[in-house]
Amino acid sequence: MTAHGSPAHQPRRFGRGLRYVVFSIVAIAVYAIVLWRVLVMGGALAAETNLVGAIGQALTRFDDVGNRFLSQAIQQTVNALSIGAIYALIALGYTMVYGIIELINFAHGDIFMVGAFMSVVFLGGIMGQSGQVDNLPFLAVLLIGALVFTMPLIGLLNVGIERLVYRPLRSAPRLAPLITAIGVSFILQNIALVIAGSGDRRSPQIFPLGAQLNIAGASISVLSIFIFVLSLSLMLGLQAFVTRTRLGRAMRATAQDREASALMGVDMNQTIALTFLLGGMLAAAAGVVWGLRFGYVRQDLGFNAGLKAFTSAVLGGIGNITGAVLGGFVIGFIENFASSVGQSRWSEFLVFMVLTFVLIFKPSGLFGQATGDRA
């Protein structure tokens, strides 16, 4: 939610931002893969002692290289979109809370972690699932049930934390709620540690791993498509709620000017609680799809995922919904590209290098607006 923008132009800007996400990042990924392929092929040709033979061999391999490039580009793009969608869902919670009360809620990553554990509780504990489900209607029931079970609970947990911990500090110096948020993060981590223990805990892989779509030679996981479609639907639903409902208009008004909104009759407590509720529900949805995609959860899961989601929000412009979505997909593409070329250990370095360069030239982020009264 942008804190300083014209509400009338929000839907259009969101649509333009999504198009920018899809086209610009896909172009970057395609360019990087092309460059990598050209370098590899060039090295192979340089090893040939006979130049004519090398040229002939290159011509005969041209079609095969082109097909492999296209299939790999499609494969890696879909993978990056699914990973970026998870980061974007978590980042929305960071950016909405900051847009409303200017709080960087460092406990939000652990809210996501609790959501991932609750998904395991529902699928593995309540429903007793341990492997893939081939019955599509029952699979749909399980997926919907996991979302319906997890999202309200985690949303209410987030609201409860706001009511008990953050609300009493609303008028305190900014450092107090920030330190408190870090404390809440450690509390949630240690509660999960006591209950579930340390190390990885298996998440039921109910989605058929063999469900693949063959597109131009690429095997696209149906699960990746499901994650992207679900995440995009939730993002569009959030944007529609914020821009077209009375409560959404109250949230935007509060983000623009809290004092003026209160004078105009906006219920601050209700608006802030609603923001935490929506942010927690989106984090819970991200936790559900995380378990389905990666197959594990752990008590410190929220730290790394939350840090990358917070980086997504800062990269796109903290307080801006479109920016949070864009930043999540950018980080997803950077991480996936590093992994695809065998340099996954450098993924975090690349992420923060990109963040540093963006903030050097645009300190408010890609979609953020500079303000003089913000910390």
How many domains does the chain fold into? Answer: 1
Is the residue at 350 inside a domain?
A: yes
CA-to-CA dists, residue 322 to 60, 78, 195, angstroms: 46, 20, 37
What tens digit of pLDDT does each residue of 253-310 get?
Answer: 888 888 888 888 888 999 999 999 999 999 999 999 999 999 999 999 999 888 899 9
- CATH code of 339's domain: 1.10.3470
What tens digit of pLDDT does each residue of 23-46 get?
Answer: 555 555 554 554 455 445 444 444
- The boundaries of the domain holding residue 115 are 7-361
Whole-number Å distance between alpha carbons of 327 and 318 = 10
Query: pLDDT at position 231, please?
Result: 93
What tens digit of pLDDT does each residue of 56-73 get?
Answer: 555 455 555 556 667 777
Is the residue at 28 inside a domain?
A: yes
Name the residue with higher pLDDT: 338 or 69. 338
The C-alpha R_g of the chain, in whole angstroms, comes to: 22
Is the residue at 1 inside a domain?
A: no
Is the residue at 40 inside a domain?
A: yes
Is the residue at 367 inside a domain?
A: no
Tell me what the mean pLDDT of segment 341-356 comes to.
83
Cα of first residue to Cα of last residue in the chain, in angstroms, is 18
E strand or H helix that includes residue 202: strand 201-202
Instruction: Say how far residue 168 (Cα) sits from the centre of its chain.
Output: 30
* pLDDT band at residue 361 using 50, 70 and 90 as cut-offs: confident
Is the residue at 375 inside a domain?
A: no
Query: pLDDT at position 38, please?
Result: 46
Whole-number Å distance between alpha carbons of 4 and 104 = 17
263: exposed, middle or buried (Cβ count in 10 Å: 0-12, 13-18, 19+): exposed
Is the residue at 111 inside a domain?
A: yes
Is the residue at 374 inside a domain?
A: no
Q: What are the residue ranges of helices labelled H in 257-369?
A: 258-263, 268-294, 301-316, 321-340, 347-361
What tens digit of pLDDT does each residue of 200-236 get?
Answer: 899 998 988 777 878 767 778 889 999 999 999 999 9
